[in-house]
Structure 1
Amino acid sequence: MNNYMGPIHSASGFYKTPVSKGLLGVSLLSSFLLNFPLHNHRHLFLYSQAAILERHQFWRVFTSKLAFLDIKDLFVCSVLIYYFRVFERRYGSRKFASHMLATFVIGTALEMNAAFFLKWLGFKIELLPSGPMCMVYPLFIPYHFDIPRVALGHILGVPVTGKSFQYFLGLQLASGSAESVIVAVCGLFCGILWRNNFLKLQTALTIPKFVASVSHSILGRILESKVPPGDTTPMGATLELQRQEQMENLEQQMIWQAVQQQQQGQNPNVAQNLVNGPGLFGNQIDIGGLRNRLNIGGDNPPGQAEPISEENVQHLLDMGFGADRVREALQASNNNVSAATNILLQES
């Protein structure tokens, strides 16, 4: 295990990401039907704040999240869902589905209240954009703080990292109208609330295990993806997706090298360079927190692994991994849950 230097993150397709696959599939199918053969029923999927609050058409809260009525929103959001599936691999499908449920509830409530408040102030609020944007925008928060950045170069003098493309997609999605900005801001705020576990949201809005088990037994065969073939298989449907997959692998490799070199007492500044490299929309990761996760400059002597946390062991056991493999992965990753999860997924 200690000599493992291959990709620690299986990035091909939707392997180990049935929730992301289902969300993307439903969005694509419903959007296609409503924009072509069933276009006469588009009015049932409009996200109208007035119809929901004034005419009590509460069913629109759900139908408006099923499909994108704007083709641009469909394309951009689909690409973002594909990128953000990495969080389902990190959290596990049940926790990721709970995140989707919580952001749907909280994000929709924030959107409705924001639209009502602005309308009360005298601003003219038209239809809010349809589609599951309230579940996509919150993922920019963990993406900003938890995914390391790698400098790629400069465009017109502006430094660009491997994360810049996703941020540009988010800005493009929010730039359509004032209503799109409302949805974007509410989604980002929702992500902050979830990340900080405001009012114990992560516990209050979670999917019970028996519901997850029943859902898996019913939809598992449809949503599960086969183990991806070797590295020679194209990783995405477009050159952009393939480029991003390669960047994800590179970023994961850099994290792994930081762990390995720290364990061997080499180059303790790897994490510092990884975090503080120049880049557009670069995340300001707390160095102290990263040092703790990688045990850089910690109390343990170089080469001495941090004791395995039983809490981390239990977290990975809940994701369905075997106890022996969990402990080996945690030992190899110096008790880093994210790195251990990636190792376990690669072995699956």
Structure 2
Amino acid sequence: MNAGPSGFQNAPVTKGLVFICGIASIIAATQGRASFSSLSYQAIVKKLHLWRLVTSVFVFSSTSELMFGLYLLYYFRVFERQIGSNKYSVFILFATIFSTLFELMILVLFKDSISGGLAPGPYGIIVSLFVPFFLDIPVSTRFQIFSVRFSDKSFVYLAGLQLLLSSWKRSLIPGFCGVLAGLLYRMNIFRIQRIKLPKLVASTASWLFAPLVSGGSSTISSRRTATRETIDAPLGQQFQGNLVAPTMAESEEAISALVSMGFDRSSAIRALAQARNDINAAADLLLNSHSQ
């Protein structure tokens, strides 16, 4: 399995998240304040350092955690391309809020028994993404190394395991909370999978982060508007009429991205032709067809 085209094409939310976590972690490390971002019973409950609820999401405490964490955030951009930036933003917010709530519950339950507090970083986001990665992303290749069987997904699991074990129980607990958050989203609690960000919020975020995500979000938005009626139509009607063929170079990258999401090649080609080579719109077409 691969994550589709290289770079942050059609993944502006991932681009912003990787940028913010990277910069925040570097600044905290140079200032010697990475440890001040961790959650602990003493800091949150007794000292009321509530600002840690925000900084703990974006700051990694070590170089190894930063490297593996950013790699996994970047790799999982495949899900943003699959469900769209709007729904992916809701997933990020849901995973962050619920994993943080679970962490606070554990801190209150065990109080000062967790020495040094919990490891900071977007563990809730990263580990929650392993739930759809495990359940929805198929294995495309298998191979053996010294009689040990691996798949193309194995190295992603190894990177996640390295991240979880980086600080032992200080990182295992946030990871466990991330799994719970991912499972809750999977169960569609509060019908969260149907929720999209309000247009005002999306427009404001687009304006604030325009220099960071330029070249992706505006194009996606305009193309989604243009293909909304097509997406809402039955699959048979979607693929009728005049199909606009994308250029060969762009088409192969987009086809590979959709195939990596689990769709067959012929359906990916038809969807991309209807969506004018917009991966997000094509994924919506395919997802809607499978849900009917």
Name the TM-score, length of structure 2 as normaliser.
Answer: 0.73
1:46 Cα deviation from its structure 2 partner: 3.0
Aligned residues: 249
Is the contact between residue 80 and residue 169 of structure 1 (CA under 8 Å) also seen in structure 2? Answer: yes
Deviates more, 1:21-30 or 1:51-60: 51-60
Match of 1:170 among 157, 160, 166: 160
Counterpart residue number, 1:182: 173
Question: CA RMSD of the aligned region, Å?
Answer: 3.6
1:222 Cα deviation from its structure 2 partner: 2.2
Counterpart residue number, 1:256: 264
Letter of the 1:128 partner, please give it: L
1:257 Cα deviation from its structure 2 partner: 3.9
1:152 Cα deviation from its structure 2 partner: 2.8
Structure having the higher Rg: 1
Counterpart residue number, 2:198: 208
Separation (CA, whole Å) in 1 of partners of 2:288 and 2:188: 19
1:199 Cα deviation from its structure 2 partner: 3.3
Residue 74 in structure 1 maps to residue 82 in structure 2: no
Is the contact between residue 78 and residue 261 of structure 2 (CA under 8 Å) also seen in structure 1? Answer: no
Flag the 1:47–1:110 CA change in 2: closer, same or farther, 3 A: same
Identity %: 28
Is the contact between residue 46 and residue 127 of structure 1 (CA under 8 Å) also seen in structure 2? Answer: yes
Match of 1:62 among 21, 45, 54: 54
1:258 Cα deviation from its structure 2 partner: 7.3
Separation (CA, whole Å) in 1 of partners of 2:262 and 2:123: 31
Separation (CA, whole Å) in 2 of partners of 1:91 and 1:34: 33
Match of 2:79 among 57, 62, 87: 87
Is the contact between residue 30 and residue 66 of structure 1 (CA under 8 Å) also seen in structure 2? Answer: yes
The structure with more helix, counted as a fraction of residues: 2
How big is each residue's C-alpha offset from its partner over 1:11-46, in whole Å with a ceiling of 9 and x where there is no partner? 12001111100000011111112222x22x445423
Q: How does 1:259-298 map to 2 (within 5 A)?
A: none
Residue 148 in structure 1 maps to residue 138 in structure 2: yes
Runs of 4+ in 1 over 6 A off after TM superposition: 229-232
Separation (CA, whole Å) in 2 of partners of 1:135 and 1:185: 11
Is the contact between residue 104 and residue 134 of structure 1 (CA under 8 Å) also seen in structure 2? Answer: yes
1:197 Cα deviation from its structure 2 partner: 1.0
Residue 337 in structure 1 maps to residue 287 in structure 2: yes
Any stretches of 5+ residues in structure 2 without a counterpart?
Answer: 220-246
Counterpart residue number, 2:19: 25
